[in-house]
Chain A
Amino acid sequence: MFRAKRRTVVTVAAVAAVLLAGALAVTLTAGSGQASGVTYIGGDNSQQVYSAGHRALAPDFTGTSLTGTPIRLASYRGKVVVLNFWGSWCAPCRAEGPTLAVLSEQYRSKGVSFLGDDVGDTTANAVAFTRDIGIGYPSVNDASYSIVQDFSRVASVGYTPTTVVIDRTGHIAGLVIGKISFQSMTTILNDVAASP
């Protein structure tokens, strides 16, 4: 009588342990799940495009540009905004700078505004960077990464540089993690700029 009972107990314990071990193994090996409505360009996770209805609202911010003028993201509503997180100390940012400068000229007529978010920098270094690389669009001073912190809550802004494309309604339509390429940006921008 006791033995039969014990056997059930052992079986229950075994099943419980196996389930537990399995759950643990799954949680240890599984990466974070990928949300639906996301397209990954180029096979890796570095370029993401969110289809309409799956776009997070970009957190609004107010700040001061490197030249001292106030900047507010909400004032760009109705335009497509390319928000580039960069720093003068960051080598990939220096490398992608000229491409961004060219793109900002090309897409101006299509209602696309470019905006920089300068992180972990001093104003003097940042101004020298924009002068040297030839960046014509404004950058907001974000030395303390506070705007990055807000964006990291809604999108995978976890690396410098990261470039976020915000649609006309103020939602995040796509982003490129790391150095942008001309092609990756035009793919996203043609798509987002075409829609009203």
Chain B
Amino acid sequence: MTDVHTPREQAAAQGEETVSFGITETEPDATGSGAGTGPSAGWLRWGWRQLTSMRTALVLLFLLALGSVPGSVLPQQGSDPAAVQQYYASHPALAPWLNHLGLFNVFATPWFAAVYLLLFTSLVGCVVPRTFKLAGSARTPPPRAPRNLGRLPHSASFPSSLAPGAAVDAAAAMLGGQRFRLRRPASGDDGHWVSAEKGYLREAGNLLFHLALLGVLVSIALGGLFGYKADKLLVEGQRFSDTMPALDEFHPGRLVSGSDLAPFSLTLDRFSASYLRSGESRGQPSDFNATVTYSPSPGAPSRTYNIRINDPLSVDSTKIYLIGHGYAPVFKVTDSHGNVAYNEATPFIPANTGTFLSDGVVKASDASLGFMGVFVPTAVSVGGTLESAFPADDFPAVSLIGYSGNLGMNSGAPQSVYQLNTAGMTKVAGSPHLMLPGQTWTLPGGRGAITFVGVKQWVSLAITYDPGQVPALVCGMLALGGLLLSFLVRRRRVFVRAVPAASGSGSVVTVGGLARTDASGGFEEEFAELAAELAAQQKPEPNNQSEAGA
């Protein structure tokens, strides 16, 4: 916790004057047994000091990074619940254990929050006192010049043609010109000297780093409290308004409610996916393009935009990303009386993302009919089985299995739109039935009919709002800047004393220098240059300059 001093610096500090760097080096002993406080207060202070120490902060930061590893390696409930289910299926023994440890929802686990909050407290406890200290040290003038400058790590001495007062004045003018902060003896004080200090930016950089780090944490917290993430599946031609019931999934921050959603509305006009038609990577996608018309708020004029991968639409501060796509065959179902009971583009979910062979269900509850289907964009028969040869809709076909009876929806229990509960239903004879666009399958027994009208495409949109994103970036850059400053800038002091020369005319000038030892080197050279410059400035007739340096 305390800074390590070199013997030389300690020797220097033993001088009459205080030559320490004030605050950063006056870390008091951390015994915590101050007079007049009980043992519990001592323990509290000890605990607080441990928590706010740099070492603890680093350990916590490391733990935070370590904790995020499973969050990025394992599937997460919040971002991809389907992948978690898949993981359960493929690792039936391991998954429950991981779940006990909260590894499928790392960022919401109490242990992650504990590390996060402790780090936050540690940083606050470290930075706040430092702010006060820097403010104090910025006001404090450099210390008085030590009496014996020869005992400082760097010193030089030379004769000057000027009288002691004038020699120090000249030195002070030169040091002041080099943006040193100066201190001169008070009136009536002994001797002629000047103290100069430079490099306050080092501490400022250090502080900036800490404050910016705090800012990063606050930014992340902002995102967690006020941000949200939502998913919406939209078929070509469909429009939706950004409101909770319209969203397929909604993951709000702690302080987000439905009325905080950006009030935009958006229509998917057209989606196109291009695929490579030849070569080794035939079938690989080459471009995705979702053309949308949107209105930032009700009544505002509409605009169009092409959403592509990595080119999201920004509406105010909300970003809308294209994260998936698929086919939505359009079906029309008529009931036993010939009434239309269902006419809708029905999103099918790709089971094979290479060929876009997709699964889906049609629920015509009002005709007491349900269908489980397989859609293929480019139909081929592989040994009698329907397969897809290419992801583009070159030759679309569906194969349907029909069911008649009660779909169980009127009981009120919410159902997945991608699953058909066939418990109370009977399979229709003639299933599975292969259909091409425009074809109608008239079900046996006068149960009704289904027409495969055509094919549309759907896109999956991720709607995200993260108010902490920009502040986190800015703070990250500030932290880097602060770190660089604290690495590159050295806090250093130069003292100049002048005494009348023995000969009676002129004076002998002694220069002493002191730099932080844990800073990067280079002060020796700087000091030597300074001393040489001073000596040259006041050069007497005969050149009698002493060696400079430590």
- 6 nearest CB pairs, A to B: A95-B412, A124-B343, A144-B239, A145-B246, A149-B241, A13-B128
**Is B525 part of the binding interface, using a Cβ–Cβ cutoff of 8 Å?**
no
**Is A41 part of the binding interface, using a Cβ–Cβ cutoff of 8 Å?**
no
Q: Which of A3, A95, A96, A131 contacts B28 (CB 8 A)?
A: A3
Q: Are A158 and B244 in contact (CB under 8 A)?
A: yes
Stretch in A21-29, A101-109, A166-174 touching the partner: A21-29
Collect the chain B residues with CB atoms within 8 Å of residue A159's CB. 244-245
Stretch in B117-125, B156-164, B526-534 touching the partner: B117-125
**Is A132 part of the binding interface, using a Cβ–Cβ cutoff of 8 Å?**
yes
Can you list 26 A-B contacts (CB < 8 A)?
A: A2-B26, A2-B28, A7-B34, A10-B125, A12-B132, A16-B124, A17-B125, A21-B117, A24-B117, A24-B120, A27-B255, A88-B365, A89-B363, A124-B332, A124-B343, A125-B342, A132-B366, A144-B238, A146-B241, A148-B245, A149-B242, A149-B265, A152-B243, A152-B245, A157-B243, A179-B412
**Is B413 part of the binding interface, using a Cβ–Cβ cutoff of 8 Å?**
yes
Collect the chain B residues with CB atoms within 8 Å of residue A143's CB. 238-239
Q: Are B413 and A91 in contact (CB under 8 A)?
A: yes
Collect the chain B residues with CB atoms within 8 Å of residue A149's CB. 241-243, 246, 263, 265, 298
**Is B287 part of the binding interface, using a Cβ–Cβ cutoff of 8 Å?**
no
Q: How far is the CB of A151 from chain B (nearest CB, A)?
A: 9
**Is A85 part of the binding interface, using a Cβ–Cβ cutoff of 8 Å?**
yes
Interface centre among A5, A89, A92, A144 (most CB of B within 10 A): A144
Q: Are B366 and A92 in contact (CB under 8 A)?
A: no
In the bound complex, CA of A128 to CA of B367 (Å): 8
Collect the chain B residues with CB atoms within 8 Å of residue A160's CB. 245
**Is A153 part of the binding interface, using a Cβ–Cβ cutoff of 8 Å?**
yes
With A32-B257, A152-B259 known as contacts, the answer to whether A85 contacts B245 (CB < 8 A) is yes
Q: Are B344 and A20 in contact (CB under 8 A)?
A: no
Number of B residues with CB within 8 Å of any CB on chain A = 58
Interface string of B42-63 (1 = CB under 8 A from A): 0001001000100000000000
Collect the chain B residues with CB atoms within 8 Å of residue A12's CB. 128-129, 132
Q: Are A13 and B124 in contact (CB under 8 A)?
A: yes
**Is B544 part of the binding interface, using a Cβ–Cβ cutoff of 8 Å?**
no
**Is A119 part of the binding interface, using a Cβ–Cβ cutoff of 8 Å?**
yes
Q: Are B258 and A91 in contact (CB under 8 A)?
A: no
Q: Are B339 and A131 in contact (CB under 8 A)?
A: yes
In the bound complex, CA of A125 to CA of B343 (Å): 6
Collect the chain B residues with CB atoms within 8 Å of residue A157's CB. 243, 245, 258
Collect the chain B residues with CB atoms within 8 Å of residue A129's CB. 365-366
Q: How far is the CB of A147 from chain B (nearest CB, A)?
A: 9
Q: Which of A16, A92, A124 contacts B342 (CB 8 A)?
A: A124
Q: Are B263 and A153 in contact (CB under 8 A)?
A: yes
Q: How far is the CB of B447 from chain A (nearest CB, A)?
A: 15
Collect the chain A residues with CB atoms within 8 Å of residue B244's CB. 152, 158-159
Q: Which of A2, A3, A9, A20 contacts B124 (CB 8 A)?
A: A20
**Is A46 part of the binding interface, using a Cβ–Cβ cutoff of 8 Å?**
no
List A residues at the B interface (Cβ < 8 Å). Answer: 2-3, 5-7, 9-10, 12-14, 16-17, 20-21, 24, 27-28, 32, 85, 88-92, 94-96, 119-120, 122, 124-125, 127-129, 131-132, 143-146, 148-150, 152-153, 156-160, 162, 179
With A27-B254, A124-B344 known as contacts, the answer to whether A145 contacts B366 (CB < 8 A) is no
With A88-B365, A94-B365 known as contacts, the answer to whether A119 contacts B409 (CB < 8 A) is no
Collect the chain B residues with CB atoms within 8 Å of residue A162's CB. 245
Collect the chain B residues with CB atoms within 8 Å of residue A179's CB. 412
Collect the chain A residues with CB atoms within 8 Å of residue B48's CB. 10, 14
A16-B124, A28-B254 given; name 16 further pairs at CB < 8 Å. Answer: A9-B129, A13-B52, A21-B117, A28-B225, A32-B255, A88-B365, A90-B414, A91-B415, A120-B246, A125-B342, A128-B342, A128-B364, A131-B339, A149-B243, A153-B259, A157-B245
List B residues at the A interface (Cβ < 8 Å). Answer: 26, 28, 34, 45, 48, 52, 117, 120-121, 124-125, 128-129, 132-133, 136, 221, 225, 238-246, 254-255, 257-259, 261, 263, 265, 267, 298, 332, 335, 339-344, 363-367, 409-415, 417
Nearest B-chain residue to A122, judged by Cβ:
B344
Collect the chain A residues with CB atoms within 8 Å of residue B263's CB. 149, 153
Interface centre among B28, B132, B221 (most CB of A within 10 A): B132
Q: Which of A2, A95, A152 contacts B258 (CB 8 A)?
A: A152
Q: Which of B132, B267, B365, B412 contacts A9 (CB 8 A)?
A: B132
Q: How far is the CB of B162 from chain A (nearest CB, A)?
A: 38
Q: Are B366 and A128 in contact (CB under 8 A)?
A: yes
Q: How far is the CB of B236 from chain A (nearest CB, A)?
A: 14
Q: Are B298 and A146 in contact (CB under 8 A)?
A: yes
Nearest A-chain residue to B340, judged by Cβ:
A124
